[in-house]
A and B are shown apart, each in its own frame.
Chain A
Amino acid sequence: MLEHKEIVGEVKVIVFRLKDEEYGVEVGQVKSIEKLEHITRVPRTPKFVKGVINLRGVVTPIIDLRNRFELEESVYSESTRIIIVAVGELEVGLIVDAANDVIDIAVDAIEPPPEVVGGVEAAYLRGVAKLDKRLLILLNLDKVLSTEEIKQLDAIEG
């Protein structure tokens, strides 16, 4: 019984850094982590859409998460990574400052998100996990990748 509880009670997440905060996405939603390569800009798309890359023959759109969450921009560095995530039929790359850890979090360590964490709107978050001294923000990818918003932005700009 105890063992069973342990299996159910933990989620494996990939940890990445954005500005000064640490974020997590569930391993099941991550397809791969890529180094930054040439991105082809796609004109007339929202600012956070950086463009598309050739991911082993598949044209994959790339979003800059800093732009997405309206954080200040920074110059890409050696540690910048693209996390390729798959949600439903969507496959999108997220640009993050660094990605370097995979950890298990107990489900009961996850708390509902406070209204604003690190400047990121609560709607994009699934929760916040406290681990020893670290604070890990879990993303709600469905919301982050919602195409509804793209369409709305189109309407405003167009």
Chain B
Amino acid sequence: MDMNQYLDMFIEESKEHLQAINANLLLLENDPGNITHVKEIFRSAHTLKGMSATMGFEDMANLTHEAENVLDLIRNQKLMITSDIMDVIFQSVDLIEGMVIDITEGGDGSADVSGPVKKLRAIVAGEFTAESEVAAASAVAIEEEAPAEEQIVAGEQDLDDYALMVLKQSKELGNNLMWITVTLNDNCLLKAARSYMVFDQLESLGEVIKTKPTVEDIENERFETSFEIAYVTMHPADKIRSAILNISEIQDVKIDPIGLKEAQSPVPAVVEKVETAAPVKKEPDAQQAPVRKQAAGGKTIRVDIDRLDILMNLFSELVIDRGRLEQLAREIGKSELQETVEHMSRISGDLQNIILTMRMVPVEQVFNRFPRMIRDLQKDLNKKVNLEIIGAETELDRTVIDEIGDPLNHLLRNSLDHGIESPADRKNAGKPEEGTIVLRAFHSGNHVFIEVKDDGAGINKDRVLKKAIERGIVNPAAADSLTDKQIHELLFAAGFSTAEVISDISGRGVGLDVVKSKIESLGGSVGVESVRGQGTTFLIQLPLTLSIISAMLVQVQDEKYAVPLSSIIETAVFRKDQIMMAHRQKVIDFRGRVVPLVSLQDIFQVPVSDSVQDDEEVAVIIVRKGEKMAGLVVDSFIGQQEIVLKSLGKYLVNVFAISGATILGDGQVALIIDCNALIK
């Protein structure tokens, strides 16, 4: 069978489920008594098992199967969670993650799972012999407030008496009992997938008690075309029938009521069985809520990201033509044409917004992997840290999301390694032993900010200075005149690393300068603030999108340049006599601040053209980089426009003060000015 077409879907969904498992495992670790987390984990593990078996990844299926057995015991309160068990489960999840990565890279997803499998089996077996009675007894007490749910697994074990018992109980509660025979089309390609969908449907409407053949056999496609299910539901048979027939490639559904005359409940088992069976009858209420929620959130489709990129590229072409049309319409000056063009511009503006938002993804995707990293890291470092994530729903362009993971990872590791003190030190300093790192994302204007804040020791200025002098980054003579802020900025200097001992965590030869250059390559910026003894905050500023930006077009002699609106504070016109000199540098007084002037004509060595005559006034664009400002002197402002960012290509790299190019309405190329490079 050709599985390739399902492989992408499998990989995507596996990643999602693994993410869900990881998140819930962490929740569970903090709140071990909460069975809802276990249920979530179980559900994801179960889906993973089914999918991997269908796709033929045997090792993954085996491992998830064993993990599922352990989880089953936990959620049925037959097994208490210990940190040892958690570790084994985490280990298994890591292994599964490795397999998914292997599959993504074209591997066959095989791995040695015997270790974890053995451990998982030992957990299951050990608990069965030693503690089953205790567990059964304790289950009675707990299950009233926390009804455990029972899924397909019930049918997996050969529990004939048990099944009958359940059926009998359900009947008494007014449920319909039925024996369903589902027959698939002869030419059905994905028998396991179809039968999984059948189970999924059935579980949303009632409870599967038993299957023939077993669920495992069905999932591994070890059946001809039909399988049978013992089923309990509140709904009438017709509804069940139509629900199943809604699934494609189903040939026939036969539903027979189950008579319970033959149900002779074995007396000796009654006491215990009743206890275990009790949760089952409550299951439909317990499970219906999440299922409905799923349906509501399910109004989405998966689109290949390449297609979105193509759409974006095509739209960029349209934006360029729009600019051209607008210009032509102005030149021709016919009002009907202008109206039409204006209307088209408005519509394409709306279209642009939709396309851009379509590419937006919550930063959650990136943030999700950090709790796990922090958990592992604090064990290695013997520190206690609580990671608080705020604003994970904040959205960013996908291209930015893809790139931002590593820099954030680095900053978090840095905070944990250098920022947060050891528990003993913290106690001495009168702080709680457990440190806090806050990872916060929020929107502001055309930017998204991401903040990494710790309540650790703060930056040791003297040590930073000393190191900077040692490394030759700062001239010892100039060191005294540096402000606190300038000293903090030294952390981002190339070749700087404050870790006294090069550790595995953040001293791998790459420093914060890599973080800085990465973020700047995304058109963003990063800054740091720190109060000694109270903590350090890194603030990253990122543009919302990287493909279409608003820019101010300016003219310098015969050349046109684009200045991104995001770095412009204001445009202004000054008389020549308002320009002053300070230290052989032209400056102006802008709202009470002295702002240095930068002449684009000089910086870019623009050839002088005859057509531009000398004016009494100069046009200035005030731009900023963080706290600093500069005034760019141009000849005239052309106007504000949406421009499409294009790269200069691989041949021209690292052009000074130019971040890219765009194509104007007249088909010519205009260069985009990188204001950050112009402000020192």
Contacts and interface: CB of A to CB of B under 8 A. Distances in A.
A150 B670 CA distance: 22
Given A52-B661, A57-B663, A40 B648 contact: no
Contacts of B655: 42-45
A143 B225 CA distance: 65
Contacts of B647: 59
In this complex, the member of A59, A90, A91, A154 whose beta carbon has the largest number of chain B beta carbons within 10 angstroms is A59
Interface in B613-654: 646-654
A61 B652 contact: yes
A92 B648 CA distance: 11
Given A40-B671, A45-B655, A61 B605 contact: no
A38 interface: yes
A49 interface: yes
Interface string B654-676: 11111001010001111100000
Contacts of A110: none
Interface string B305-341: 0000000000001001000000000000000000000
Interface string A118-148: 0000000000000000000000000001010
B669 A57 contact: no
A60 interface: yes
B668 A60 contact: no
B603 interface: yes
A145 B651 CA distance: 8
Interface in A74-108: 89-92
A38 B661 CA distance: 15
Interface string B524-565: 000000000000000000000000000000000001000000
A129 B646 CA distance: 40
Interface residues of A, number: 27
A61 B663 CA distance: 14
A57 B317 contact: yes
B605 A42 contact: no
Contacts of A145: 651
B606 interface: yes
B604 interface: yes
Interface of A: 38, 40-45, 49, 51-54, 57-61, 89-92, 145, 147, 150-151, 154, 158
Contacts of A42: 648, 652, 655, 658, 671
B158 to A, nearest CB: 62
B666 to A, nearest CB: 9
Given A40-B661, A43-B604, A147 B667 contact: no
Contacts of A90: 649-651
Interface residues of B, number: 28
A22 to B, nearest CB: 25
B650 A49 contact: no
Contacts of B668: 38, 40, 54
Contact of A54 (B648, B649, B654, B667): B667
The 4 closest A-B pairs by CB, nearest first: A43-B604, A40-B669, A44-B656, A59-B661
A54 B652 contact: no
Nearest to B604: A43
Contacts of B606: 43
A52 B656 contact: no
B663 A45 contact: no
Contacts of B671: 40, 42-43, 52
Interface of B: 317, 320, 559, 603-607, 646-658, 661, 663, 667-671
A41 B559 contact: yes
A61 B658 contact: no
Contacts of B317: 57
Interface-central residue, B646, B652, B670, B671, by most chain A CB under 10 Å: B652
Contacts of A150: 651-653
A60 B603 contact: no
A58 B663 CA distance: 9
A57 B658 contact: no
Contacts of B667: 38, 54
Given A40-B669, A57-B317, A91 B649 contact: yes
Nearest to A147: B651
B663 A59 contact: yes
A42 B559 CA distance: 10
Contacts of B669: 40, 51-54, 59
A57 B317 CA distance: 7
Nearest to A157: B656
A76 to B, nearest CB: 16
A6 B641 CA distance: 57
B658 A60 contact: no
Given A43-B605, A53-B669, A59-B669, A89 B658 contact: no
B650 A89 contact: yes
A43, A44, A49, A147 — which one has the most chain B CB atoms within 10 A of its CB? A43
A43 B651 contact: no
A61 B651 contact: yes
A52 B652 contact: yes
30 contacts: A40-B661, A40-B668, A41-B607, A42-B648, A42-B671, A43-B605, A43-B655, A43-B671, A44-B605, A44-B655, A45-B655, A52-B648, A52-B649, A58-B646, A59-B646, A59-B647, A59-B649, A59-B663, A59-B669, A61-B649, A90-B649, A90-B650, A90-B651, A145-B651, A147-B650, A147-B651, A147-B653, A150-B652, A150-B653, A151-B654
